[in-house]
Structure 1
């Protein structure tokens, strides 16, 4: 197994079905941050459903259509990032994130998203990364903005979740835009 350092005490690793108990405990701690926005988190309420969530992503990874990774801080799962969709034929993918309070305010989500952007846009040659978020989710919007994504538009009352129809913002970043940002980051170092 591999781990990518995100900070002195944090790392990014694959999140797999055998980790369902740890994942469920984390999601239970993260519910205030996840339930308003993430349908699979609301459905991951016991060991079987948590394992099913992770198995769904394992199946997507096996077909190269999605992946899920956890963020561990000081040995505890505190959040994660994922390729919700990964379509190599079209060159488009979508990144999603979540965290619990113990993973907030340390730049871990941003660091993990940068790794996924590098993987998708540089290593895999994808053309476009999307970021879908509820217009009510200011923290998610802030991550998209920090990554240099552009707001493509808003789908009004697009998604029903927890009895509320959410407007969905769609943000995107193109490969040439990311390459330009990475080149600027390197020249500033």
Structure 2
């Protein structure tokens, strides 16, 4: 099973079927917080729903086309991070993440994004990592901005969220930019 130790308190762990209940409870406890920016949250009403999603994530990892991992902080599941789809022809991927409200502000997500950038550029040999955030999602946008991503522009009405469209900001990091910072 894929695990990535970020530091002494944070570890990324590939989701397995036995994590379904724990993942559901995390989302359910943070439902109001997460639903503001994540359109899928309202559709998750039972741990059983993760029994069909987790095998898809595992297959994606096995086929080396992306993955979704749990973020563990001091052993507790506090969020998720992963690569949506790896485009091997163009050597790029996009990254998505969420974090429980009660652990925000501790640098957890910044460290996790840095760890996945290292993994993308050094382990996978990719050239580009993209992050898209809601234009008004200032907490999520702070991560790529803090880590030196380039703001490329706005995708107008780029995502449907609760029957309304909203703009997405596109950020990217290129391998040579990351290497020059490391």
Instruction: Give me the TM-score of the superposition, normalised by structure 1.
Output: 0.88
Q: CA separation in 2, counterparts of 1:6 and 1:116?
A: 9
Post-superposition shift, 1:112? 0.9
Aligned to 1:187: none
More moved, 32-41 vs 116-125: 32-41
Aligned to 1:36: 36
Aligned to 1:12: 12
More moved, 53-62 vs 164-173: 53-62
How many residues matched? Answer: 182
Retained in 2: the 8 A contact 1:43–1:49? no
Q: CA separation in 2, counterparts of 1:129 and 1:29?
A: 30
Retained in 1: the 8 A contact 2:39–2:160? no
Q: CA separation in 2, counterparts of 1:10 and 1:128?
A: 24
Post-superposition shift, 1:166? 1.1
CA deviation vs aligned residue, 1:151-186 (integer Å, no higher than 9, x gap) = 11101112111122010111101010000111xxxx
Post-superposition shift, 1:124? 1.1
Retained in 1: the 8 A contact 2:12–2:70? yes
1:41-52 equivalence runs, <5 A: 41-52=41-52
Aligned to 1:102: 102
Retained in 1: the 8 A contact 2:6–2:115? no
1:133-148 equivalence runs, <5 A: 133-148=133-148
Q: CA separation in 2, counterparts of 1:40 and 1:25?
A: 15
More moved, 134-143 vs 14-23: 14-23
Aligned to 1:88: 88
1:1-189 equivalence runs, <5 A: 1=1, 3-182=3-182
Unpaired segments ≥5 residues, structure 1? 183-189
Unpaired segments ≥5 residues, structure 2? none
Post-superposition shift, 1:126? 0.6
What's the RMSD between the two structures over aligned residues?
A: 1.6
Q: CA separation in 1, counterparts of 2:112 and 2:123?
A: 15
Post-superposition shift, 1:100? 0.7
Q: CA separation in 2, counterparts of 1:115 and 1:8?
A: 13
Post-superposition shift, 1:9? 3.3
More moved, 4-13 vs 76-85: 4-13
Retained in 2: the 8 A contact 1:34–1:42? no
Q: CA separation in 2, counterparts of 1:79 and 1:107?
A: 13
Instruction: Give me the TM-score of the superposition, normalised by structure 2.
Output: 0.92
